[in-house]
Amino acid sequence: MWENLPLFPDSASTLAGDVDRLYIFLVAVSAFFSLLICGLIITFAMMYRRKPDGRVAARIEGSLQLELLWTIIPFAVMLTAFIGGASLYVRMNTPPGEAVDMYVVGKQWMWKAQHPRGEREINDLHVPVGQTVRLTMTSEDVIHSFYIPAFRVKRDVVPGRYSQLWFEATKPGVYHIFCAEYCGTKHSAMIGKIYVQTPEEYQQWLSGVPAGEPPEVAGLRLFESLRCNTCHADTSGAAGARGPSLVGLFGKRVQLRDGGLQIVDEDYIRESIVKPMAKITAGFDPIMPTYQGQIGEEQILQVIAYIKTLRAP
């Protein structure tokens, strides 16, 4: 019954129920107090309107009980909304540890996705039901926003930085993907579909699609073709390296020449590739050239995927 109403799309993820409950709670509270205030205004306007004989209402000095009542009740209601919203926000921004990593690049006016084995899709995304999926996303041109109404998840996709979004689908089916940020003349055409399949159907789909190069394999090929390994040794602590070793570096803190500390994440690696002079690791000279304009966002994601695989022994 609710499926045809714009405010109630399908609920098909583990996050959707919590988002709906918080939304309904806020709407119900807003509606209740709006009706209460309007009703009291009309009631008091009728009760205390000016009488024909010119009588004036008696002055009321105040009531401590009344003051406490209209202070404590709104505070409790807003505190409940804050706790619910904050806990949901933390949950939506903290993907579980075991997740399938996929990469999405927004471009006027399409979504380009890549699976862990290298399968590529445009404006489509196939995922297995009951499996946590983590999307690492960026944009090649302007700001986009990746929005799946049935999953109640949405995240802005900004050029020059990475954003992450995760979900776990609970119902097989076909659901919409929209761009929720105006991005140009064909913004309304930047739509796609997400296919939630059973594990068997998903494996069958994978077997029928050319696998191509996994992101980390393509990243290794780029790493070598760009001669990155001449400065960044592929073994930890190698002598004579002109750049820091990348083995086991992802996720760690590094000391910078200006004395600051920096966590090595996707954004830092991207910045080091396109703007190497922005943050220089302590103990090394600023000799790395920029690769801005030489490789695209998809290729940078592939290099990052390769660097993630360089685990320390």
Q: Per-residue pLDDT tens for 243-272?
A: 888 888 888 888 888 888 888 888 888 888
Instruction: Say if residues 176 and 148 touch (Cβ distance below 8 Å).
Output: yes
Query: Predicted confidence band at 273 (pLDDT cuts at 50, 70, 90)?
Result: confident
C-alpha to C-alpha distance for 262 and 254, rounded to whole angstroms: 5
Q: Which two tokens stand for residue 225?
A: 């073709």
The dihedral sign for the CA sequence 102, 218, 249, 285:
negative
Confidence at residue 45, expressed as pLDDT on a 0 to 100 scale: 86
The pLDDT mean for the chain works out to 85
C-alpha to C-alpha distance for 246 and 243, rounded to whole angstroms: 9
C-alpha to C-alpha distance for 173 and 195, rounded to whole angstroms: 6
Query: Predicted confidence band at 196 (pLDDT cuts at 50, 70, 90)?
Result: very high
The predicted model scores a pTM of 0.77
> 188-191: long-range contacts (C-beta < 8 A, 24 or more apart)?
189/109, 190/108, 190/109, 190/110, 190/111, 190/144, 191/123
Closest CA to 23 of 114, 178, 149, 198: 149
- Residue 163: pLDDT above 60? yes
- Residue 39: pLDDT above 90? yes
- Residue 241: pLDDT above 80? no
Q: Which two tokens stand for residue 266?
A: 């996707």
- Residue 120: pLDDT above 60? yes
Region 123-130: mean pLDDT is 92
Could you give the 3-state DSSP secondary structure of residue 101?
A: strand
Query: Predicted confidence band at 211 (pLDDT cuts at 50, 70, 90)?
Result: low
Confidence at residue 137, expressed as pLDDT on a 0 to 100 scale: 92
Confidence at residue 41, expressed as pLDDT on a 0 to 100 scale: 92
